[in-house]
Structure 1
């Protein structure tokens, strides 16, 4: 799949180059991370994650104390009492795992909700910059995807996008 995409991009690039097309790229991830609205969203996500982690850590500490207590008293507990306490511990661990999974899902949703308007705004800004600078096409770049293998400095519109998004507020 990656090879097919590369072939398509090379073919597309060759045909656009012959038509004197101007192609640019934007590292959207970097633009989000470095823009003021992206930084604000990241701070909000960090606060939310820290709050949830604090709650989860407290529950984990309680479960660890419960486990230690059961282990300390194992010798003096009847088999029935030990089994009951072990089952209670197991139930608490299951509740903890469910809470952790729920918290993770809620954090992912919150991140998505925070990023959606930012990405929309960036697309609008990218389109305006591309038109203003005469670009026929703008690709999304990302250090991990390696879609853009070579470009000149004036093809990178990322800084322009960051400045424009920050200017709009």
Structure 2
């Protein structure tokens, strides 16, 4: 009796699969791919944002270099003058140098955080613009799904229709 129930279940499953396959054949799903990162990098505003980020990085780097040089000079001067000072004075100066090193590290961490936030602030609207253009073009061309073929996004093979040039045209990118 159990084998008959199993056989009936298998037959029902096979027929359901055949019906599902026929339903999918009636309305095939259209899939294409696009390299979204390439689109963002092609935007003139992305090039300007990159330049702005490089300039900000140079500003932070200049400040960090100056702070580091000043700290090294103080340390060198402290080493040279250490024999003429008392133990208490040397300890106080070492504490000041340690505080300077801490400030240098904090400035570095804050600069990295600020750079990340600035990058997000500059690029978020560009990603939104590209995403909206992808949606518009894909809908206009009748695609149901758009896969991102940017390296590292999980697409191993992308032989389907590449929507990238159509979206570039939508964005006015040559």
TM over 0.5: yes
The question of 1:160 aligning with 2:162 is answered no
Task: Assess if the C-alpha contact under 8 Å between 2:33 and 2:164 holds in 1.
Answer: yes
Runs of at least 5 residues in structure 1 that lack an aligned partner in the other structure: 1-14
Counterpart of 1:5 in structure 2 is: none
Distance 1:62 1:84 in 2: 18
1:9-50 CA distance string (max 9 Å, x none):
xxxxxx978842221222222222222121111111111111
Change (3 A) 1:17 1:44: farther
The question of 1:47 aligning with 2:55 is answered yes
Change (3 A) 1:116 1:60: same
Counterpart of 2:6 in structure 1 is: none
Deviation of 1:162 (Å): 3.5
Aligned to 2:131, which of 106, 123, 137?
Answer: 123
Change (3 A) 1:120 1:69: same
TM-score, length-normalised on structure 1? 0.78
1:136-161 CA distance string (max 9 Å, x none):
1112233123x211122x52223433
Deviation of 1:94 (Å): 0.9
Change (3 A) 1:16 1:125: farther
Counterpart of 1:3 in structure 2 is: none
CA RMSD of aligned residues (A): 2.2
The question of 1:68 aligning with 2:61 is answered no
- State the secondary structure of the residue aligned to 1:75: helix
Task: Assess if the C-alpha contact under 8 Å between 1:23 and 1:155 holds in 2.
Answer: yes
1:44-65 CA distance string (max 9 Å, x none):
1111111121111111111111
Task: Assess if the C-alpha contact under 8 Å between 2:149 and 2:158 holds in 1.
Answer: no
Distance 2:132 2:34 in 1: 13
Counterpart of 1:149 in structure 2 is: 156
